[in-house]
Amino acid sequence: MATPSAPGEGPVRPVSVSLHEGTIAALKARTGKRGMSAYVEALIQRQLERDLLRELVEDAEAEHGPVDRTAVEAKRAILRGDMADSADAA
């Protein structure tokens, strides 16, 4: 039995999905008709990554307890470059 391909790997093959007309129109306006598949592929890959990350956080919180929201906000400030704000939060 073959090992399943990871997201973004393996041969490309067509699938059928149902979307609302407004969603299709917005998608075509953003990507053009020929860019739709790549756009949808990227969206799905990004959502799969988010789902896996959420599961990882849930597992960590189950093992170690909930995260300290103040610490998270301080780290976000550092990542954004808001050093003055993060110093005030400490």
- pLDDT 10s digits, 74-84: 999 999 998 65
What's residue 88's pLDDT? 53
What's residue 83's pLDDT? 67
Q: Which of 6, 40, 47 lies closest to 23 in space, CA to CA?
A: 40
Domains in the chain: boundaries: 66-90
- pLDDT 10s digits, 7-44: 989 999 999 999 999 999 999 999 998 899 999 999 99
Is the pTM higher than 0.85?
Answer: no
- Residue 77, CB-side half-sphere exposure with 13 Å CA sphere: 15
Q: Is 88 exposed, middle or buried, given 0-12, 13-18 or 19+ CB atoms closer than 10 A? A: exposed
- Stated as kind and residue range, the H or E segment containing 52 is helix 36-64
Mean pLDDT of the chain: 89
Average pLDDT over residues 59-88: 85
